[in-house]
Amino acid sequence: MSIDSAVAGQGPSSTPSTVPPTKAARHALITSVLVRQPVHSQSELADALAQEGVSVTQATLSRDLVELRAVKIRTAGGALAYAVPAEGGSRTPAHAADAEVLAARLARLCAELLVTADASGNLVVLRTPPGAAQFLASAIDHSVLTGVLGTIAGDDTVLVIAREAEDGGTASGGAAVAARFLALAAEG
């Protein structure tokens, strides 16, 4: 599991930050923020990082953006926002994806690829056709689902690590996440 996977599912919450104070972790978090939401200024990015529990100076943030090859591009609404090169070595900057677009994509992929979803404690095991697990795991990671810490994918199995249930009751965090994936598959 990459650091990006670990931090991508972690949104603002009452739990303390688990992002280590390393440059690589900070870069992964910056990339995750820029992909999740449009960011128009360095101060806006610094605020978003602070919500994730990472404090950074403007000078460090400026250097990080240069190292990540982030550029400002015009969004569909006409405003300028930071973007980073897309995954897979593409040099074309990727726009921040709309949450609705990501949710629709995940629902479609669950409908097409999800064979079973089983939970045990805070773990969810998703079965897919052979060769499809990494594709589904990537869609889950990019969707930034509440309650999902990250994913690990094999050939036909995705392990989803869910947060523990916060109600303190007998309901499992994994069971709730598994039910959400099954619901996505039904609606997709």
Domain boundaries, the chain: 3-94, 99-187
What's the CA gap between 76 and 137, in Å, rounded? 28
Average pLDDT over residues 102-107: 84
Residue 167 has pLDDT above 50, yes or no: yes
User: In CATH terms, are 3-94 and 99-187 the same topology?
Assistant: no
More confidently predicted of 60 and 99: 60
The CATH class for the domain spanning 99-187 reads alpha beta
pLDDT interval class at 166 (50, 70, 90): low
Pick the CATH number of 3-94 from 3.30.43.10, 2.60.40.10, 3.40.50.300, 1.10.10.10: 1.10.10.10
Cα torsion 15, 20, 25, 30: sign? positive
DSSP state for residue 88 in the 8-state scheme: G
Write out pLDDT tens, residues 53-79: 899 999 999 999 999 888 888 877 788
Between the CA of residue 130 and those of 125, 133, 157, 186, what are the distances in Å? 15, 7, 8, 21
pLDDT for 8 equals: 39
**Residue 23 or 98, more confident:** 23
184 neighbors 149 (Cβ within 8 angstroms): no
**92 vs 144: which has the higher pLDDT:** 144
Note every long-range contact of 42-49, with CB atoms under 8 Å and residues 24 or more positions apart, other chains counting: 45/82
On the question of pLDDT at 102 being above 70, the answer is: yes
Confidence of residue 5 (pLDDT cuts 50, 70, 90): very low
Residues 6 or more apart whose CB falls under 8 angstroms from that of 72 comprise: 80, 81, 82, 83
Across the range 29-51, mean pLDDT stands at 90
Sign of CA dihedral 85, 104, 44, 13: negative
Could you list the beta-strand ranges (E) of 13-92.
Answer: 71-74, 80-85
